[in-house]
Structure 1
Amino acid sequence: MTPAGTVFAKKRQLDALRKRVRPGALDGLEHSQRIDITYTSNAIEGNTLTAGETALVLEKGITISGKPLKDHLEAIDHARALNWVLEIASQSDTPIVEADIRNLHHLVVGNSKPEIAGRYADSARYVNTDVGVHNFPTPTEVPALMETFCHWLGAARQSPQTAFEAHRRLVGIHPFNDGNGRTARLLMNLVLARAGYPPVAIRPEDRPAYIAALEIAQRGGGHATLDRLLFDRLDQTLDMYLGAARQAQDASAEASKVIPIRS
């Protein structure tokens, strides 16, 4: 079975299980997953907060001694952006438009870098790769590229393939001065959520393979390597949700058993 077929089959299993467990049975997992996605997405970009520290910042409002204020603000920003992503995914199936992506970026850097929030790049962006410096499109090219991108996204079918391509294409345009990776991963999760899939985390230990796969795509080597990594992460996430749903189903069945009363 193809990776797409595997995750679709697991999604159907999860959809069926969700109908047989009590409402809210997966709330704990979903809460933990939100914190994990914020921790991992920021860590990939160099944020120094650990998973536990990220949870303390978000759940308790605690300031971690010795850690930069910027890292705290990035955690708060990302968590707020992810909440927005999952909220609009559950409330609306209207096409994602350019204003949505700019608003998403505004949330991603709203506190940490408010001067660039929601604004397209006004300076050159580049990245050092194994084969030299890669230059992203110029600021004057960005508006037209984003218009084309959003036309494609608005007409595309909601699916994991679309989610992964949206991520890849947005990273390739690199429309903002900073926050492009976090925005692209959140957009990916928005498309996944609209297609009925749980959001996924790309972990810090994935970073070398993830960056290498993006570089392959950017220099015209295709996107198969990146798709494999993302499908693998989605597959693992579905396994985690299936395990939690089965445990919740077993607990519900156990609780519903009638214990006979001896006379």
Structure 2
Amino acid sequence: MSFVREVHKGVLTYYLVVENSREDGKVRQKVLKYLKDRRAMLDYCMEQSISPPEEKPGLIEPEECERIGKKLAELNSLRPLPPAALESLRRKFEVEMTYNSNAIEGNRLTLRETHLVLERGITIGGKSMKEHLEATNHADALGMIEKLAGRRREGITEKQVLQLHAIILDKIDAQNAGKYRQEQVFITGTEHTPPKWQEVPGLMKDAIRELNSKNGGCGAIESAAKLHHELVWIHPFTDGNGRLARLLSNLRLMRAGFPPIILEKRTRRTYYKTLERADGGDLRPIARLFARDEEKALDLWLSAAK
């Protein structure tokens, strides 16, 4: 008799088709098939008329939610943080978030060079003007995010999302900055084809509703992960979609009282895999990725607060 076993590797989930057999009075198990994601697993179970593994409630493991909740409560008990500590955290985040978010998209500035561009206004030899503008624009966009995060009673509007995108592409692509795409686009290296451009405004209204949702705790982390995938899936602009998604998902977290997170360049491969899984209907990997990075952010802020 065969069954499907769920296996976790980091934030990703895989599935194995396993067969039980009895030899010499002992039960032995043999792996018959590897299934790369939840969609493949559900298709296989339907074809073979076998039951899929029981799905746990929620996108993030309860134990992780409990840890995150305790750390957030501890951080809240220490607030307000000393101004010097807050400024140090802000500057560290600005440089590291800018470096990683741009590097994921192919920007060649190193972490050190990004620091020099943002903190000292130095021009880096051998790097393009566009790469410099991507760094300074991203820092400006973070400034807007910080202001919006402090206005928790006000809903985020479509106009503000477009303004944020205009900052990201300022002096880089004046024709498309702050404007939804007006053409069909295709993304290299993925099976996903973004929706038709005519559908973008309506889909973005749904995404902005998610951005303005009020649930807190792990629900806010799950919401931020869902929002992030929605924005990447819609691909509302000709360029800057990934950077916008990372900024707005952080805005969702910050408005729920969480410190912002950094999706690092070194984990880009895992990050892209979580997006692929989400394309197939499984949001758990990207939610776990966000939870893991949020716990790291909480640890950093707690160390600065003590």
Give TM-score, length-normalised by structure 2.
0.75
Matched residue type, 1:175 = P
- 8 Å CA contact 1:156, 1:162 repeated in 2: no
**Cα RMSD over matched residues?**
1.7
**Displacement of 1:36 after TM fit?**
0.6
Quote the residue 1:4 is aligned against: 65
Quote the residue 2:168 is aligned against: 108
- 8 Å CA contact 2:141, 2:164 repeated in 1: yes
User: Does 1:174 find its partner at 2:244?
Assistant: no
Matched residue type, 2:247 = L
User: Does 1:25 find its partner at 2:109?
Assistant: no
Quote the residue 1:252 is aligned against: none
User: How far, CA to CA, are the matches of 1:128 and 1:239 in structure 2?
Assistant: 36
More strand by share: 2
User: How far, CA to CA, are the matches of 1:175 and 1:116 in structure 2?
Assistant: 11
**Displacement of 1:155 after TM fit?**
4.2
**Displacement of 1:147 after TM fit?**
2.1
Matches within 5 A, 1:56-95: 56-95=116-155
1:128 partner SS: coil
Matches within 5 A, 1:70-219: 70-129=130-189, 133-157=191-215, 159-218=220-279
Give TM-score, length-normalised by structure 1.
0.86
How many residues are treated as equivalent by the alignment?
242
Quote the residue 1:41 is aligned against: 101
Matched residue type, 1:147 = K
- 8 Å CA contact 1:95, 1:155 repeated in 2: no
More helix by share: 1
1:212 to 1:77, Cα distance in 2 relative to 1, 3 A: same
Specify which structure has the bigger relative contact order, considering alpha-carbon pairs within 8 angstroms and separated by 6 or more residues.
1
User: How far, CA to CA, are the matches of 1:74 and 1:230 in structure 2?
Assistant: 24
User: How far, CA to CA, are the matches of 2:87 and 2:210 in structure 1?
Assistant: 34
- 8 Å CA contact 2:250, 2:261 repeated in 1: yes
Q: Equivalent pairs: percent with the same residue? A: 39
- 8 Å CA contact 1:11, 1:197 repeated in 2: yes
**Displacement of 1:210 after TM fit?**
0.3
Quote the residue 2:57 is aligned against: none
- CA-to-partner distance for each residue in 1:164-212, whole Å, 9 max, x for gaps? 2111111111110110000000001111111111111111111000011
User: Does 1:228 find its partner at 2:274?
Assistant: no
Matched residue type, 2:249 = M
List alignment gaps of at least 5 residues for structure 2: 1-61
- 8 Å CA contact 1:171, 1:184 repeated in 2: yes
**Displacement of 1:55 after TM fit?**
0.8
**Displacement of 1:237 after TM fit?**
1.1
User: How far, CA to CA, are the matches of 1:146 and 1:116 in structure 2?
Assistant: 17
User: How far, CA to CA, are the matches of 1:122 and 1:22 in structure 2?
Assistant: 47
User: How far, CA to CA, are the matches of 1:156 and 1:241 in structure 2?
Assistant: 23
Matched residue type, 2:89 = L
Of the two, which has the highest radius of gyration? 2
User: How far, CA to CA, are the matches of 1:11 and 1:32 in structure 2?
Assistant: 20
1:92 to 1:225, Cα distance in 2 relative to 1, 3 A: closer
User: How far, CA to CA, are the matches of 1:162 and 1:226 in structure 2?
Assistant: 11
User: How far, CA to CA, are the matches of 1:12 and 1:156 in structure 2?
Assistant: 18
**Runs of at least 4 residues off by over 6 Å:** none
2:229 partner SS: helix
**Displacement of 1:148 after TM fit?**
2.7
- 8 Å CA contact 1:93, 1:194 repeated in 2: no
**Displacement of 1:156 after TM fit?**
4.4
